[in-house]
Amino acid sequence: MSRRLELVTLLSFVPFAVKAAGYLPLGSFVPAIVWLALAGLVVSGFRHGEPRRGRAVRIWSASLVLWACLRLGLIVLFALAPLREAHVESQFTATYVAWSLLHLAAGVYLWRSARTP
């Protein structure tokens, strides 16, 4: 497996780690638990060789693609729906769209680059 794939995999976990850590002081442990489970799956895959590694990266990449599609779907939903909520609208910035597209691109790259038998 290439170093680029390992680097993209590692970097794709960073935003989720930051977000999970941000929820901990608020008393919400679920994002951290989900992050730890997915990170543990990928780390385990990397430690056990190519077949497991590819499978773990594909699971993570599918999670990234799903997450990005849900985020982009929310933008479309709020653009089409007559709902107007200032707090929600303030979240859908250009940065939000850029992060969503970056997650989508990383997920697609990881999916196509991971080799499974």
Structure confidence by residue, pLDDT tens digits, 84-100 = 778 777 778 888 899 99
Range of the domain at 98: 3-113
Tokens of 60: 């993570």
Element (H, E) at 91: helix 86-91
How many domains does the chain fold into?
1
List Cα–Cα distances, 99 to 34, 42, 62, in angstroms: 20, 21, 16
pLDDT band at 115 (very low <50, low <70, confident <90, very high): low
pTM of the model: 0.80
